[in-house]
Amino acid sequence: MPYVYILECTDGSYYTGSTWNLEGRVWQHQNGLGANFTRKHRGAKLVFSEYTDRIEDAYAWEKQIQGWSRAKKRALIESRLEDLPELSRRKPNGPAP
């Protein structure tokens, strides 16, 4: 099953990925066998995952989330979906319009 997922590392950074095998991929990240990012930022903990119908959709969503601000990723992780549109309108590090 294809998934998009977000990991939180011990330093508070986020890693976003997509995979066919969520459990196996998280295990790889946690054991230093995943992406270079999670090898450098150890202690990856799964904080968000969502099933998609097609791997292409998971990959597209991964790329979209990677472009989001930290605040917008946090809102997704915390299921504050109603906050996402407002967070999309804000300029990075700036006030709301």
Q: Where do runs of H (alpha helix) occur along the chain?
A: 22-30, 36-40, 55-66, 70-77, 84-89
> What was the pLDDT predicted at 93?
59
Q: Which tens digit of pLDDT belongs to each residue from 71-84?
A: 999 999 999 999 99
Q: What is the mean pLDDT of the chain?
A: 89
Mean pLDDT of the 3-24 span? 95
Any bridge partners for residue 50, and if so which?
Answer: 4
Mind listing the domains of the chain with CATH numbers?
3-66 (3.40.1440.10), 69-97 (no CATH)
Interatomic CA distance for residues 51 and 39, integer angstroms: 25
Look up residue 63 and give its DSSP letter: H
Q: The tokens 């066919």 sit on which residue?
A: 20
Locus of tokens 């095998």: 21
Q: What is the pTM of this model?
A: 0.86
- Counting Cα atoms < 13 Å in the Cβ hemisphere of 46 gives 17
pLDDT, tens only, 50-79: 999 999 999 999 999 999 999 999 999 999
